[in-house]
Amino acid sequence: MRIKITLTFDGKLTVPINHQEWLHGLIYHSIRDDGYRDFLHNTGYQRGKRQFRMFTFSRLNGSYKLDRSSSTLEFESPHVSFIFSAYDKKLIQELVSSLIIRDDLRLGSSQVKVVSIDQIHETVSEKMQIRFLTPVTMYSTFQLDDKKKTYFYSPLEEEFSGLIQANALKKYEAFHGIPLAVDKPLSLTPLHRERIKPITSKFKSTLIKGWTGDFLLEGDLDLIQLTYDVGLGAKNSNGHGLYEIVRNLRD
């Protein structure tokens, strides 16, 4: 399930270019159920050693000026918005019921207030052209010379699509408690390979390399619905892997 949250503010709203951490904090701060918030933040849905929060979100959208010297965005319009998407309807309900009444929401030092919350309606299919609104990322970690290293895969590498499918299947099993038997494998193929753009962002102190562009997404309908709600790839709850549907396709 996916919603668009529109915020208002007085004067100007200044946020870091990498403001995903601020939105992440606003989301958790808005969950009134202490037990549920603690579960999401500290435990999540588990599959083996992996933990999934089962939500994702976009960056702020609105008219802004970029200040390169301070690496900030300055929004001047009285409104900004962002997209929030989650597989668990309880989380959506928690946010909606809380956000519409709270008057203590902040982004950094700026107080913000919710103007509207609108549900986004899109229909997924087994074959779609999609466009990433936030970078999709897949990675592996390993030890090299007694140091932990991270390797981020490119969508142009052969392993990328298989890792995307494995990640989605783990999320499904973590949430439902049983594996999903798929008749049609999940595949993610870049379209217009020359337009696939690498994006490096920072969440807290961690650098994350991801990719944006248009892709062909095919596979099991239940699995695709999950990826639409929670995001494709890794780092979803840090603001990665959110996509929109450009068009549904037929064989």
Q: What is the CATH number of the domain that holds 143?
A: 3.30.70.1900
Look at residues 219, 196, 64 and name the one whose alpha carbon lies nearest to residue 137.
196
Asked which of 66, 93, 119 is the last residue of a domain, the reply is 119
Angle at 181 between CA 180 and CA 182, to 5 degrees: 105
Check: CB of residue 208 under 8 Å from CB of residue 234.
no
Both 146 and 174 in one domain: the answer is yes
Asked which of 65, 85, 119 is the last residue of a domain, the reply is 119
Both 221 and 133 in one domain: the answer is yes
User: What is the tens place of the pLDDT at every residue in 174-207?
Assistant: 999 999 988 899 999 999 889 999 999 999 889 9
Q: What is the pLDDT of residue 102?
A: 87
Both 115 and 145 in one domain: the answer is no
Structural domains counted in the chain: 2
DSSP 230-249: H-SSS-GGGT---EEEEEE-
C-alpha 2/C-alpha 122 separation (Å) is 9
* Higher pLDDT pick, 250 / 81: 81
Average pLDDT over residues 18-46: 93
Average pLDDT over residues 68-91: 94
Both 202 and 159 in one domain: the answer is yes
Asked which of 119, 140, 164 is the last residue of a domain, the reply is 119
Domain with 161 in it: 127-248
Both 115 and 131 in one domain: the answer is no
Q: What whole-number percentage of the chain has pLDDT above 70?
A: 100
Both 224 and 155 in one domain: the answer is yes
Sign of torsion over alpha carbons 106, 110, 111, 113: negative
Both 141 and 193 in one domain: the answer is yes
Q: What is the pLDDT of residue 210?
A: 98
C-alpha 151/C-alpha 141 separation (Å) is 6
Q: What is the pLDDT of residue 143?
A: 78
Q: What is the pLDDT of residue 20?
A: 96
Both 103 and 175 in one domain: the answer is no
What is the model's pTM? 0.94
Both 44 and 155 in one domain: the answer is no
DSSP H helices in 177-230 = 221-230
Q: What is the pLDDT of residue 251?
A: 57
Both 133 and 97 in one domain: the answer is no
Both 136 and 225 in one domain: the answer is yes
Look at residues 247, 238, 16 and name the one whose alpha carbon lies nearest to residue 136.
238
C-alpha 158/C-alpha 189 separation (Å) is 10
Q: What is the pLDDT of residue 226?
A: 98
Residue with tokens 């083996």: 48
Both 148 and 113 in one domain: the answer is no
- Residue 146 pLDDT class (50, 70, 90 cuts): confident
| Tokens found for residue 214 | 């248009």
At residue 145, does pLDDT exceed 80?
Answer: no
Q: Provide the CATH number for the domain around residue 37.
A: 3.30.70.1890
At residue 161, does pLDDT exceed 90?
Answer: yes
